[in-house]
Copies of this chain bind each other. A is one copy, B any other.
Amino acid sequence: MIFTDAELGYLAGQRLGRLATVAPDGTPQNSPVSFRHNPDTDTIDIHGFKLGASRKFRNVAATRVVSFVVDDVVSVDPWRVRGLEIRGEASALAGEEPPASYLSPEVIRIHPRRIISWGIAAEEAGLRARDISA
């Protein structure tokens, strides 16, 4: 498994992440999306409404590189934040069976290559980073 139990638990409790994609001209796009960890493929799967018509879907089809960040503010005073940045290669897939009927048959499927985390594990201080082999 790519993710730790603490990371999977954190991801399951968050509604939105922000997905950065890159257009063929090298400029980034960044947008909030819902997501789920797909246990069958050990990937982050992003469905959506009319996803196939979106610029992020076309960007992924063209350049494949993404960075997906899920984070939140745990407390303001003292200031405490936590989150995961998942950098990787993504596929823009069509014709998948969506996990819910209101979701698009298209999916952006992220294969993690580097994971950076902060504040997720109880004993954790500062940033942790690790590479995931392809």
On chain B, the residues within 8 Å of A122 by CB distance are none
The A53-89 residues at the B interface (CB cut-off 8 A) are 63, 65-69, 71, 73, 76, 81, 83, 85, 87
Which chain B residues border A41 with CB–CB below 8 Å? none
Segment at the interface with B among A4-12, A19-27, A93-101:
A19-27
Given contacts A16-B73, A73-B16, contact A22 B28 (CB under 8 A): yes
Q: Which residues of B contact A27 (CB under 8 A)?
A: 22, 65, 67, 87
Q: Which of B16, B18, B28 contacts A87 (CB 8 A)?
A: B28
Q: Is the beta-carbon distance between B15 and A26 smaller than 8 angstroms?
A: no
User: Is there contact, CB below 8 Å, between B15 and A20?
Assistant: no
Known: A20-B30, A30-B68. 11 other contacts (CB 8 A): A15-B76, A16-B81, A18-B20, A18-B30, A21-B28, A22-B26, A22-B28, A28-B65, A29-B87, A30-B85, A32-B83
